[in-house]
Amino acid sequence: MKIIVTGGAGFIGSAVIRHILQHTSDQVLNYDCLTYAGNQESIPAYLTTQKDAKTGEPQYQFIKGDICDAELFTALLNQYQPDAIMHLAAESHVDRSIDGPALFIKTNVVGTCNLLECARKYWLSMAEERKSTFRFLHVSTDEVFGDLESDDSKFTETTPYAPSSPYSASKAGSDHLVRAWGRTYGFPVLITNCSNNYGPYHFPEKLIPHIILNALQGKPLPVYGDGKQVRDWLYVDDHAQALLTVVKEGNVGETYTIGGNNEKQNIEVITSICDILNRKVSAKPDGISDYAQLITYVQDRPGHDKRYAIDASKIANSLHWQPKESFQSGIEKTVQWYLDNPDWWQRVLSGKYQLTRLGDSQYHETL
């Protein structure tokens, strides 16, 4: 297959691309705007230089582009001729959405609408045989469902939408657009809603990498409110495998909820990280004998959801996907990755990753 991944320099998008390049012979084109969260160094160079064994064509290509740029994306579709689009480009940080919601509406709602129209017109121009196998996968979040009480049933594909933040409202809007394009135009769409991801190459503003890196630097480990908010944690490489399974084997028009079956309170996550670091790091910051000493409770986030939990039985039963990592095995791997890869996260914290770009591929110059 030839696959375009939007947002492929982001956390989940780069994991998808690494999975494709490591485990398939598919060709992939990374279409990313390279905002603050986009980091091309999240896809190692040895993977980006691979070539197709039969044709000699590059297995990976990169185009710098905005999902709101209809002219560029249309030109890309017509020249690259993809068999599928995996749409992961999005503004995704709740705190940033509270401070500046308009950007989230522009990217997540207007940008998704733009992609749908560009892709639909491209799909209509395809020969019937290819048209029947084309897929548009929209990757969304469990946050569109709102939150749960401790004794509520888990989210499923039919849970009503009740978003709480500008971020989750913008993703809910994009989900509705994708379903509408499927219903109105017969466009071959798929939707996934995932739980909280974690793992290697995670941007440091998110909870788990933020806690790991603050701890290593002897900085406070901030905990919103009482820290008892519950999230279902999904290792990012498991999610990447699930997404490729859905785009290749999922039924058109269907939604699949993807979770790790690992519900944890935020404070449990933070103390787990502290415990692992206590075991693995002998040279602790000055005055610290236990990383848990750095835990600091701060004012809660406005509208903070209490609990998320995903019922992933549909994808397990129909597509035979299940996560490989438990939370304990995944968090051990994640902490170890950050210990082993200081160059990556130090370049992110310093901002140097934004100064060294791999460049827009030669392919871009022909569009």
- Model pLDDT for residues 70-116, shown as the tens digit of each residue: 999 999 999 999 999 999 999 988 889 999 999 999 999 999 999 99
pTM reported for the whole predicted model: 0.94
Q: What is the mean pLDDT of residues 197-223?
A: 96
Superfamily of domain 2-202+234-261+309-326+351-366: NAD(P)-binding Rossmann-like Domain (3.40.50.720)
Active-site residue identified among 142, 232, 305, 325: 142
**Residues recorded for the chain:** 367
Catalytic residue flag (residue 142): yes
Active-site residue identified among 31, 167, 338, 353: 167
Kindly tell me if the per-residue pLDDT of 52 is higher than 50.
yes
CB 146 within 8 A of CB 164: yes
CB atoms within 10 A of CB 76: 23
- Model pLDDT for residues 169-195, shown as the tens digit of each residue: 999 999 999 999 999 999 999 999 999
d(CA 340, CA 217): 15
3-class DSSP assignment, residue 123: helix
CB atoms within 10 A of CB 254: 17
CB atoms within 10 A of CB 213: 17
Nearest to 234 by CA among 348, 345, 336, 334: 334
Positive or negative, the Cα torsion across 34, 305, 234, 299? Answer: positive
Note the helical H segments in the chain.
11-23, 45-48, 70-80, 94-99, 101-104, 111-124, 128-131, 166-185, 207-216, 236-249, 266-280, 313-319, 327-340, 342-350
Active-site residue identified among 32, 41, 91, 143: 143
